[in-house]
Structure 1
Amino acid sequence: MATVSRVAQQPADPVGLRFASRSGRWVLVATVLGSAIASIDATVVGIALPAIGRDFHTGLAALQWVVTAYTLTLAGLLLVAGDLGDRYGRRRIFLIGVVWFVVASLLGAVASSAPVLVGARALQGVGAALLTPGSLAILEASFVPEDRSRAIGAWSGLGGVATAIGPFLGGWLVQAVSWRLIFVINVPVAAAVLAVAWWHVPESRDPQVTGRVDVAGGLLVTLGLVGLTYGLIEGPSSGWTSPPVLATLVGGAVALGVFVGRERRTPAPMLPLALFASTQFTATNVVTFAVYGALGGTLFLLPIQLQQVSGYSALQAGMSLLPLTAIMLALSARSGALATRIGPRLQMSVGPFLVGTGLALLARIGPSGDYLTEVLPAVVVFGLGLATTVAPLTSTVLAAAPARHAGIASAVNNDVARAAGLIAVAVLPAAAGITGSAYLHPVQFEDGFRTAVFISAGLCLIGGVLAAVTICNPHPTPTIARPSAHRLHCALDAPPLPDPQHATAAG
């Protein structure tokens, strides 16, 4: 234990950890469990939405806020959190995020009204913002370059397992006891994360970071997202021309514009815009936005469809996604290894098509809700698409930028994924005609759900086409391991940047 303790208190060895080593496995355990508490909570809440709505007697807009309040603070503060990790230590910020998340979860468990629950969810988002970029950045900074894709693939697969287990566990808790327990389950997992990370995860930071943390930039992003989200959620019921809706939409857009202008001028930007000079980096993030927007909107509506239209219990609705567990566990790490051998282009092109096909198949779910003929085929195809896409997507965005900005790069891609889901949850129900109390009327909701999944499927197809025409495989490299700073970049890319990096999807 003396050796482990010494490693945990010192900067990561420049040589890095091997995936098959004992130390490497402990690092993987800590990062997977850390990101899992955020993933599980997000998916569990989706299963619990009908029960929350009944307890608090709320309409669809309130349920949207239960989801989006979390995503708002998460997306708004991810960049600040990534910067904090690069400056003050990725492990340190990761551990702070875990503690914060658990405290906010307990507040959600005792919420007395929908507004209180929304507030607790917003605080959860702050904790998730602190721990989410850190989990992937720790992997990138800890493992040797040739083992990073394998580690990220395992992280993606095991994280997918956690995401899939969440609905099952949440459904059982909602049906057997109460939706409030879905927030309590974070406590034992967080305790394990804190113990493993404290003893086994090496500290890492960016030694070249300068200036101060761009808190103003983080506030501008958060305010911009709040304004846009409020306008998009309230627009269908209040009217798009009503003064509050117009004011928040315009104010949100202005805040985001000011943020971009600030990042161009400040000497130490929270978001180094030079990252986007890389075609590979930019294209991968656009694909991320398309795929995760489709996922976010559909997975918000699917539990409601299964429970309100098909008559599933909360437990049955949660169990319906369990095949994702086996698929992600069996294939994600292999998918990452395959992308390392053949390059990411094929998988990033085919994967979104599979995801879109799975989403389109969800349109077959009706009042009978037969699992074997209506639900399972869609879940299997959808799972195969995710397993094909997520690991190479993550590896590609990380490889498109230098390693010393691991925290901020991870935060950027996570921010893209979260913002996509945030916007989709706000926009997709209204675009499909699901507003107000529609979720309480099965026939009306079923019609809207069918429209929504076709919209989401189309978005995934666009992502696949975009990947096919923009993503390119790296040039062949010698078998001798290269330092991450000397990675070859795709010929379509700009010259290697001074130092950015990024993580995709994750969860």
Structure 2
Amino acid sequence: MVVLDATIVNIALPSAQETLGMTDTDRHWVITAYALAFGGLLLLGGRVCGAIGHRRAFAIGLVGFALASALGGAAGNTGTLFAARAGQGVFAALLAPAALSLLILTFTDGRERAKAFGVFAGVGAGGAALGVVAGGLLTEYATWRWCLYINIPMTAIALIGVPLVLRDRPGGNLRGLDVPGVLLSAAGLVFLVYGFTRAEPHGWGDPTVLAPLIGGVLLLALFVLVEARTRHPLLPLRILFHRVRGTAFVSVFLMFAAMFGFYLFVSYYTQTILGYSPVKAGMTLLVNAVSTTVGALLIAGRLHRRTAPDVLIAGSLLSSAAGMLILTQLEVGSSHVFAVYLTPSMILTGIGLGCLLATATNTATVRLDPAEAGVASAAYNTVQQVGAAFGTALLNSIATSVTTSYLEDHGNGTDSVSAGTVQGYTVALWAAFGILVGGALLVGLLSRGGSRTSRPEAVVETTR
């Protein structure tokens, strides 16, 4: 639900805009309101999970998410829809760390833990692709409102299972809440995500982009300083700066930065160049979703006890990089695109994504106290959100600038527009390829000088 709702409304947005009389200037808030609330409040959500109990937080998050979805589906004006999407983000910030924390606390055996995180990674990664498919189907055969209403029956099914979930004890209270840390982290993350969303249409040099980005970086730097001196920090820095955890966080950030731009370009390319319908374009991404599940469950699940985590992570990044490399060879006149280019690319990127998420989720959350599970889970989700926002903005701006430059040199004819668009995608995918290869090299550097283990369970709580 949490991942799906980040993408499901993308295809439904034109229909919603027409129904509610939304302006072109304001329509991005349907996406941005969710991203800002979710990304900005994740660390606070993780702290609340530990304070009230993860199972209780999970149930509250489910109910709140469903109510916000119902409000958005019934929205009669743009303000209500924007508020509902922000409400979804608020409860998602509670739901996401609660769900991951419950997995951490439930599955403590190494083999079971690997399987659980494999399923978790496969479902989460597949949610982004499924969102595109579901958005197209619901918009075409029902109404855009069902892109939000769909969360109500999903919530009902999940709530039925809540009594079966491990009951955990609250890990404290909110009386000693690190208020400065909450304010600085929330403001810093909101500024960063907002700056990234504005970079896409306005360019990185625009003052309305630079101001929030610089402000976000400064606020987060101040947050780190405050957390280092606070007796009961919102986010204990040892969670971030542990060598193995740090490697996992960095790799997830880079993978999401590359992959979310990849999803965007595949969706655009298949529809604008190949002429696929939104539903058919979404179905293309299902190849990636299935491969992600295979990578998480079958490959990472079998290798996690035999291969060092940093080797698995680096190999995962390189697998996805190989998938990106295939698509950089596309041209306007390429034939057999689905079989020769899209399918192998989807398989390689999916396997890489699945293997990385299963491994990184495990190594980022191993050997944590129950009270720290929530905030560590929140930090993990925060890295994903910021990486996705950054990558989408960066790669889309690269593609746009390359296409614009091409059209200035070759004119605006139909053939030139198609050629320029493909060239823009190609250069952006080369950038994504560079991000992934650079990430693999960085993982290798970070792993040097530390103990290499064949199992995440052997991670020790020491920092370099």
Tell me the secondary structure at the aligned position of residue 306 of structure 2.
Answer: helix
Distance in 2 between residues matched to 1:94 and 1:214, nearest whole Å: 22
Compute the displacement of 1:409 (Å).
Answer: 0.9
Distance in 1 between residues matched to 2:428 and 2:107, nearest whole Å: 41
The aligned counterpart of 2:441 is 465
The aligned counterpart of 1:386 is 353
Distance in 1 between residues matched to 2:451 and 2:61, nearest whole Å: 35
* 1:468–1:58 distance in 2 versus 1, CA, 3 Å: farther
Distance in 2 between residues matched to 1:195 and 1:435, nearest whole Å: 50
After superposition, the C-alpha distances for 1:451-492 in whole angstroms (9 at most, x for unaligned) are 222212211112222223324675579xxxxxx9xx64369x
Compute the displacement of 1:127 (Å).
Answer: 1.4
The residue identity in structure 2 corresponding to 1:90 is H
Whether the aligned pair in 1 keeps the contact of 2:103 and 2:116 (CA below 8 Å) is yes
* 1:269–1:76 distance in 2 versus 1, CA, 3 Å: same
Distance in 1 between residues matched to 2:11 and 2:332, nearest whole Å: 18
The aligned counterpart of 1:342 is 307
After superposition, the C-alpha distances for 1:116-143 in whole angstroms (9 at most, x for unaligned) are 5444322211111111011111011122
Unaligned runs of 5+ in 2: 408-413
Q: Select 1:489's aligned residue among 454, 459, 463.
A: 459
The aligned counterpart of 1:79 is 43
Q: Does 1:414 align with 2:414?
A: no
Q: Does 1:449 align with 2:428?
A: no
Equivalent positions of 1:300-449 (< 5 A) are 300-334=264-298, 335-363=300-328, 364=330, 366=332, 370-399=337-366, 401-402=368-369, 404-433=371-400, 444-449=420-425
Distance in 2 between residues matched to 1:389 and 1:67, nearest whole Å: 26
After superposition, the C-alpha distances for 1:219-276 in whole angstroms (9 at most, x for unaligned) are 3223223333444444576676665445433433332233222222222111111223
The aligned counterpart of 1:67 is 31
Q: Does 1:140 align with 2:104?
A: yes
Tell me the secondary structure at the aligned position of residue 271 of structure 1.
Answer: coil
The aligned counterpart of 1:33 is none
Distance in 2 between residues matched to 1:249 and 1:349, nearest whole Å: 29
Identity of aligned residues (%): 31
- The number of aligned residues is 447
Q: Normalised by the size of structure 1, how large is the TM-score?
A: 0.78
Q: Select 1:295's aligned residue among 256, 259, 267.
A: 259
Distance in 2 between residues matched to 1:219 and 1:294, nearest whole Å: 29
Distance in 2 between residues matched to 1:236 and 1:184, nearest whole Å: 29
Whether the aligned pair in 2 keeps the contact of 1:68 and 1:425 (CA below 8 Å) is no
The aligned counterpart of 1:284 is 248
Compute the displacement of 1:104 (Å).
Answer: 2.0
Whether the aligned pair in 1 keeps the contact of 2:52 and 2:173 (CA below 8 Å) is no
* 1:57–1:369 distance in 2 versus 1, CA, 3 Å: farther
Compute the displacement of 1:215 (Å).
Answer: 4.6
Q: Which moved more, 1:136-145 or 1:146-155?
A: 146-155
Distance in 2 between residues matched to 1:41 and 1:217, nearest whole Å: 28
Tell me the secondary structure at the aligned position of residue 3 of structure 2.
Answer: helix
Distance in 1 between residues matched to 2:215 and 2:366, nearest whole Å: 36
Whether the aligned pair in 1 keeps the contact of 2:193 and 2:386 (CA below 8 Å) is no
Unaligned runs of 5+ in 1: 1-36, 478-483, 496-507
Q: Which moved more, 1:280-289 or 1:334-343?
A: 334-343
Whether the aligned pair in 1 keeps the contact of 2:238 and 2:463 (CA below 8 Å) is no
After superposition, the C-alpha distances for 1:392-420 in whole angstroms (9 at most, x for unaligned) are 11111122655541111111111111111
Whether the aligned pair in 1 keeps the contact of 2:39 and 2:193 (CA below 8 Å) is no
* 1:205–1:324 distance in 2 versus 1, CA, 3 Å: farther
After superposition, the C-alpha distances for 1:335-382 in whole angstroms (9 at most, x for unaligned) are 134213333232211111111222333342758784223322211111
Whether the aligned pair in 1 keeps the contact of 2:97 and 2:375 (CA below 8 Å) is yes
* 1:270–1:183 distance in 2 versus 1, CA, 3 Å: same
Distance in 1 between residues matched to 2:28 and 2:325, nearest whole Å: 23
Compute the displacement of 1:57 (Å).
Answer: 7.0
The residue identity in structure 2 corresponding to 1:362 is L
The residue identity in structure 1 corresponding to 2:359 is P
Whether the aligned pair in 1 keeps the contact of 2:402 and 2:420 (CA below 8 Å) is no
The aligned counterpart of 1:4 is none
Equivalent positions of 1:13-24 (< 5 A) are none
The aligned counterpart of 2:118 is 153
Equivalent positions of 1:100-249 (< 5 A) are 100-111=64-75, 117-146=81-110, 147-197=112-162, 199-205=163-169, 207=171, 212-234=176-198, 244-249=208-213
Whether the aligned pair in 1 keeps the contact of 2:252 and 2:357 (CA below 8 Å) is no
Whether the aligned pair in 1 keeps the contact of 2:50 and 2:172 (CA below 8 Å) is no
The residue identity in structure 2 corresponding to 1:462 is G
